[in-house]
Chains A and B, each alone.
Chain A
Amino acid sequence: MSSIISISNLTKTYASGVQALKPVSLEIKRGEIFALLGPNGAGKTTLINIVCGIVTSSGGTVLADGHDIVRDYRLARMKIGLVPQELHTDAFETVLHTVSFSRGLYGRPRNPEFIEKVLRDLTLWDKRNAMIRTLSGGMKRRVMIAKALAHEPTILFLDEPTAGVDVELRRDMWDMVRSLREKGVTIILTTHYIDEAEEMADRIGVINKGELIVVEEKAALMKKLGKKELTLQLQEPLTAIPAELSDWQLDLKADGLELHYAFDGTSDPNATGRGISSLLKRVSELGIGFKDLNTKQSSLEDIFVNLVHRDSGAGK
């Protein structure tokens, strides 16, 4: 079995009537880093909280390493570690106590050597006897991670791990995520920063308004997300796109006064002979005059809008 988490037809409607998740199905592969990408309020945290047992689902099932999260909650939860988005800590506890507490809570016997290792890996060992309330925000975030790792989970959820985190911690965190992956831990992280997903993830899922719009290998998705668009404003309107330009799959807009060319911004289009320079060359060879031209890189927001539109269009 290659899936470590199987989510099928998971739905959530809050008591307020807000539908946070429309039926969502998702397979997380064993040992991968999966990024759940989406704007605020898209349903990322709801999805994670259901899998971790903090929120009750309205329908559907979730298996964590083959264990149903409701029926076999003990085995499922022992496998899962969660670093929530908010910094929830026991202000008056010491670092060592709170991390040891987490290990016990998750049903593991005491193991001071392992706790020491976790704390050292997160550069918390020197602060082990410090009260949590005396720590900086970044250090508190590390404590949250140490708590999540204390029971040796094989699945780690990181909810917005770099929100409000400085550059150094962010780098440390990515190093830690990579080394955990090398040990076979599956990591699911949520983010609304596209570069973060790009840097870390093997696969990316895009969620919007409670719907999983796309789940793709990173490379494939970055191609989609990395669209650029060239617009030529023509001097004379065209009635149709000349056959000589069929290689580029152009769109004619604004009553024939604008030619649009959407292209992949991540690879070098000139290498395929369908780049901008060859297009412009062909346009001038055909004697099509243009007043102006501009290029635009689609922002994450555009991508979401596009994905959502396409999605609802396909559903009709």
Chain B
Amino acid sequence: MRAPLFNVHGVSAIYRFEMARFTRTIWQSLVTPVITTSLYFVVFGSAIGSRMQDVHGVPYAAFIVPGLMMMTLFTESIFNGSFGIYFPKFVGTIYELLSAPISPLEAVVAYVGAAATKSVVLGLVILATASMFVSIDIAHPIAMVGFLVLIAVTFALFGFILGIWANSFEQLNVVPMLIMTPLTFLGGAFYSIEMLPAAWRVVTLFNPVVYIISCFRWSFFGQADVPVALSVGLTVAFFAACLVAVGMIFKTGWRLKN
């Protein structure tokens, strides 16, 4: 008997298991972002947006769509990526994953793949909801989908690491709530950084989220706050760093094995 090169059945079992949790709570999973997005449009799009000038020739209501999508994408990717691996650790079913003939790479592909799938679906749902309020022309649709997937996978992978690191539900929430949400708000989700005073503009450049939102917005409107290549480079670098970290975690068994 020869060892299979890739445990397809194992990866598909985990992927389907994770997606089943999503579909079991499909209404909660989908209704929440739809309602949240609608509320943002009522507040920022209609109430405030009508008094705002166009940003680089884009109506304010349309301008905030990429930022809104990114906000959900960050939190959902991190949450799903971390919960998928944290929960088996918490209830003890992780024993099965650790004793299964599945490689670290395969486990990551399955868990992160499922988490990223969910956030991409949610991102598209938000886009669909937004397009009911405002007309959106996407300048670079292929790049837009590419970024959506890249960012979802990167942050699901980041979440996966958090899920392995976390020893409690509180720790699980620390990074998304305390770090990602403020960084997103200050990362140009609702404004172009050119609208800031010069000093703050410099400070903002230290916020990695600025680069992500900027390139995503470029795929919509063809305008970016920072060079697109720099944004993509940084995102890919962050993705690679997470990949190396996961590799080391599995190699040493950190927080997984005694």
* Chain A residues close to B by CB (< 8 Å): 14-15, 49, 52-56, 72-78, 80, 82, 84, 86, 88-93, 97, 100-110, 147
Known A-B contacts A82-B95, A90-B93; A75 and B1 likewise in contact (beta carbons under 8 Å): yes
Question: What's the Cα separation between A273 and B184 when bound, in Å?
Answer: 90
Please, which residue of chain B has its CB at the minimum distance from the CB of A51? B99
Q: Which residues from chain B contact A73 at a C-beta distance below 8 Å?
A: 101
Q: Which residues from chain B contact A102 at a C-beta distance below 8 Å?
A: 96
Question: What's the Cα separation between A100 and B20 when bound, in Å?
Answer: 13
Please, which residue of chain A has its CB at the minimum distance from the CB of B2? A75
Known A-B contacts A86-B92, A91-B91; A105 and B97 likewise in contact (beta carbons under 8 Å): yes
Q: Which residues from chain B contact A101 at a C-beta distance below 8 Å?
A: 13, 16-17
Q: Which of B169-202 contact A (CB under 8 A)?
A: none
From B4, B9, B99, give the contact of A54 (CB < 8 A): B99
Q: Which residues from chain B contact A80 at a C-beta distance below 8 Å?
A: 99
Say if the beta carbon of B53 comes within 8 Å of chain A: no
Question: What's the Cα separation between A88 and B91 when bound, in Å?
Answer: 6
Q: Mark B1-14, 1 if CB is under 8 A from A, else 0.
A: 11110011110111
Q: Mark B89-107, 1 if CB is under 8 A from A, else 0.
A: 0011101111111110000
* Chain B residues close to A by CB (< 8 Å): 1-4, 7-10, 12-14, 16-17, 20-21, 24, 91-93, 95-103, 253, 257-258
Q: Is B253 touching A56 in the complex (CB atoms < 8 A)?
A: yes
Q: Is B4 touching A107 in the complex (CB atoms < 8 A)?
A: yes
Known A-B contacts A54-B95, A86-B92; A78 and B101 likewise in contact (beta carbons under 8 Å): yes
Chain B nearest CB from A67 CB (Å) reads 8
Give 19 A-B pairs besides A55-B258, A74-B101, A88-B96 with Cβ atoms closer than 8 angstroms: A49-B258, A54-B95, A54-B257, A55-B257, A56-B253, A74-B3, A75-B101, A77-B101, A89-B91, A90-B93, A92-B24, A101-B13, A101-B17, A104-B12, A105-B14, A105-B100, A106-B100, A107-B7, A107-B9
Please, which residue of chain B has its CB at the minimum distance from the CB of A89? B93
Q: Is B258 touching A106 in the complex (CB atoms < 8 A)?
A: no
By Cβ-Cβ distance, the 3 closest A-B pairs, closest first, are A104-B13, A88-B92, A77-B101
From A15, A74, A86, A147, give the contact of B96 (CB < 8 A): A147
Please, which residue of chain B has its CB at the minimum distance from the CB of A15? B258
Please, which residue of chain A has its CB at the minimum distance from the CB of B14? A105
Question: What's the Cα separation between A108 and B9 when bound, in Å?
Answer: 6
Q: Is B99 touching A82 in the complex (CB atoms < 8 A)?
A: yes
Chain A nearest CB from B158 CB (Å) reads 24
Q: Is B20 touching A97 in the complex (CB atoms < 8 A)?
A: yes
Chain A nearest CB from B16 CB (Å) reads 8
Question: What's the Cα separation between A103 and B12 when bound, in Å?
Answer: 11
Question: What's the Cα separation between A108 and B7 when bound, in Å?
Answer: 9
Chain A nearest CB from B244 CB (Å) reads 20
Q: Is A14 touching B258 in the complex (CB atoms < 8 A)?
A: yes
Q: Which residues from chain B contact A78 at a C-beta distance below 8 Å?
A: 101
Q: Is A72 touching B93 in the complex (CB atoms < 8 A)?
A: no
Could you write out 8 A-B pairs with CB less than 8 Å apart? A54-B257, A74-B4, A77-B100, A82-B99, A90-B93, A97-B17, A101-B16, A104-B10
Please, which residue of chain B has its CB at the minimum distance from the CB of A81? B99
Q: Which residues from chain B contact A110 at a C-beta distance below 8 Å?
A: 9
Chain A nearest CB from B113 CB (Å) reads 15
From B3, B10, B16, give the contact of A75 (CB < 8 A): B3
Please, which residue of chain A has its CB at the minimum distance from the CB of B94? A88
Q: Is A74 touching B258 in the complex (CB atoms < 8 A)?
A: no
Chain B nearest CB from A266 CB (Å) reads 38
Question: What's the Cα separation between A56 and B9 when bound, in Å?
Answer: 25
Q: Which residues from chain A contact B1 at a C-beta distance below 8 Å?
A: 75
Q: Which residues from chain A contact B4 at a C-beta distance below 8 Å?
A: 74, 107
Please, which residue of chain A has its CB at the minimum distance from the CB of B17? A101
Q: Which residues from chain B contact A14 at a C-beta distance below 8 Å?
A: 258
Q: Which residues from chain B contact A53 at a C-beta distance below 8 Å?
A: 98-99
Chain A nearest CB from B89 CB (Å) reads 11
Which of A74, A75, A92 has most chain B Cβ within 10 Å? A74
Q: Is B258 touching A90 in the complex (CB atoms < 8 A)?
A: no
Please, which residue of chain B has its CB at the minimum distance from the CB of A72? B3
Question: What's the Cα separation between A266 and B84 when bound, in Å?
Answer: 54
Please, which residue of chain B has its CB at the minimum distance from the CB of A108? B9
Question: What's the Cα separation between A72 and B102 when bound, in Å?
Answer: 11
From B20, B99, B253, give the contact of A52 (CB < 8 A): B99
Chain A nearest CB from B214 CB (Å) reads 40
Please, which residue of chain B has its CB at the minimum distance from the CB of A55? B258
Known A-B contacts A54-B257, A74-B3; A84 and B95 likewise in contact (beta carbons under 8 Å): yes
Known A-B contacts A74-B4, A74-B7; A54 and B13 likewise in contact (beta carbons under 8 Å): no
From A52, A54, A84, A106, give the contact of B10 (CB < 8 A): A106
Q: Which residues from chain A contact B98 at a C-beta distance below 8 Å?
A: 52-54
Which of B1, B9, B20 has most chain A Cβ within 10 Å? B9
